[in-house]
Structure 1
Amino acid sequence: MRIFGRRVPLPLVAWLALVWVTLWGEVSAGNVLGGVAAGLVVTWLLPLPVLDPGIRIHPAGLVRFLLWFGWDMVTSTARVVFWVAHPGRPPAQFVLVPLRTSSEAMTVIVMVALSTVPGSLVLEAYPRALMLHVLGRPGDVADAVRADVAALEARVVAAFGTRRDRKELE
């Protein structure tokens, strides 16, 4: 919606009106109208900059990501449970994993996905690289972990990436 040539975001106006009514502590026509008026004035006088978080939702990619993520949760949980119940120390390694994307949003989603799955934890984030702690995978698994993270990164970019993010992975 535009008022005197300036864009006024209606969801923000509604939110400010709700806060206004809540602060007054009583739902009445006057409070609601006063909240809407205050929200319109505030959003018109103090416009917020347009921010692009760098995330787009691609339904087919999102479904693939969620299915794979669910499967990874199940298999990783089983692997960690096995090593917890197994006598002795479980195998653990530190692996430096390069990333192909330069997008902060994509990097954060990859980090959250990795840290959510049992048996992996992001210890440090560098420009275009992550230091991971991997638990429960015996032997030298650095190359396998790097391949797994590259595949995860590709699924994250397919689910949430912009055109620029997708081009970086080509």
Structure 2
Amino acid sequence: MTGPPGRTRDDGGSPVSRGGLGRWRDQLVALGWLVLVWILLWGDVNWANLVGGLLVGTAVLFFYPLPAVTFGGRLRPGALLVFAGRFVVELVRASIHIARIAVQPGYRPRGAIIAVQLRVRTDLNLALTAEAVSLVPGTLIIEVDRRSATLFVHVLDTHRPSDLSAARKRTLAVERRLIRAVGSAAELRLVESRPVEKGTDS
């Protein structure tokens, strides 16, 4: 939804400035996430990977400019730490599960593709949630429907309908933790009004 020229609105209808300062802030936020993804892909935090991530991220934003995505949220350090902590726990848990599958004789995992419609329909939320989900072993985003804010997720090792339901809830839990960490007040109210079942979020 659009407002007066040079402004846009978030999901709650609040106007968000898109002036020069706002665009620079959006670029810095995008660069920060690209650097984080680069470091996670290498699996090691050091100065070389940090500098490499900055260079690669800058090149990506320069040569392949992203669509204008206005960041209308606010950074909440406590919630960001919770997101990072839960992400590490899920990363370790999924890695152990994949390793067990790899060494188990005669075991054939069964994959499935599920559609998960996100509650916050912004490009930024789509991108961040998709990245966070794909970085966890055993799950991979294969397609994104931008219009309906739907992620199509390939999930490894699913044998029962309850496994598919659990994977869907985990994806929505990731979205909620992200919104708690960097979302606007309107986005936060939206995800809090549609809770994920107990045991899949914190």
Shorter-chain TM-score range: 0.5 to 0.7
- Cross-structure match for 2:178: 156
Task: Determine which of 97, 102, 114 is the counterpart of 1:95.
Answer: 114
Distance 1:54 1:119 in 2: 32
Q: Residues of 2 paired with 1:71 and 1:95: CA distance? A: 23
Post-superposition offset of 1:134: 0.5
Q: Using CA pairs below 8 Å that are at least 6 residues apart, which structure has the higher relative contact order? A: 1
Q: Is residue 116 from structure 1 mapped to residue 138 from structure 2 by the alignment?
A: no
Residue 134 of structure 1 aligns with which residue?
155
Deviation sequence 1:83-102 (CA, Å, 0-9, x none): 11123421211111121111
Using the size of structure 2 for normalisation, the TM-score is 0.56
Q: Tell me which residue corresponds to 1:78.
A: 96
**Corresponding residue of 1:18:** none
> Gapped runs of 5+ residues in structure 2?
1-19, 25-68, 194-202
The whole-number CA distance in structure 2 between the counterparts of 1:144 and 1:88 is 21
CA distance in 1, matches of 2:189, 2:164: 26
* 1:165 alignment partner, one of 184, 187, 200: 187
Say which one has the larger Rg: 1
Give distance in 2, aligned partners of 1:53 and 1:112. Answer: 17
Unmatched 5+ stretches in structure 1: 1-7, 13-50
User: Are the aligned partners of 1:92 and 1:137 in contact in 2 as well (CA < 8 Å)?
Assistant: yes
What secondary structure is seen at the aligned counterpart in 2 of 1:96?
A: strand
SS class of match (2:98): helix
Scaled by the length of structure 1, the TM-score of the pair is 0.66
Q: Is the 8 A contact 1:65 1:155 kept in 2?
A: yes
Query: How many residues in Structure 1 have an aligned counterpart in Structure 2?
Result: 125
Q: Are the equivalent residues in 1 in contact too, given 2:141–2:152 (CA < 8 A)?
A: yes
Farther-moved stretch of structure 1 (65-74 vs 140-149):
140-149
Superimposed CA distance per residue, residues 39-63 of structure 1 (whole angstroms, 9 cap, x where no aligned partner): xxxxxxxxxxxx7334532101101
**Is contact 1:98–1:146 with CA below 8 Å preserved after alignment?**
no
Deviations 1:12-68 (A, max 9, x none): 9xxxxxxxxxxxxxxxxxxxxxxxxxxxxxxxxxxxxxx733453210110110010
What is the percentage of aligned positions where both structures have the same residue?
A: 24
